[in-house]
Amino acid sequence: MSISRRLALGLVASFAALLLCASGAAAAGSNGSEVAGNLAQTLLTWAKVIIIPTAAVMALPALFRRDIGHALLTLVIVLVVGMFAFDSPGIQSLVVEVGNTVLGK
């Protein structure tokens, strides 16, 4: 795996972790913590601004090389990160529902 691909995957993985933390902070923010709510809102705003250019930077080289596997991997990563960025309450309810089903609550 080339260094640029490793760097891109590392960037996307850290970005996804950041969004996951922001979603958790948003959930904690609804319980009364203003700092967590403000942090979550700021991180989600940044995510919405950053996700499209990041996807373009990752996908354009794959499309120019006609590397369909890399382009599809980029699509899946962008979809997962985009779900957290653009539909945080929906993802939160999905995670809670799946957790309740698995735990039997």
List per-residue pLDDT tens for the chain, 105 residues long: 566 666 666 767 666 666 666 666 555 545 556 776 777 777 778 777 888 888 888 888 888 888 888 888 888 888 888 887 788 788 888 888 888 888 887
What range defines the domain where residue 28 resides? 3-103
Give the torsion sign (CA, 11, 45, 93, 82).
Answer: negative
State the total domains in the chain: 1
Residue carrying structure tokens 């795996």: 1
Question: Distance between CA atoms of 22 and 92, rounded to whole angstroms?
Answer: 11
Q: What is the pTM of this model?
A: 0.51
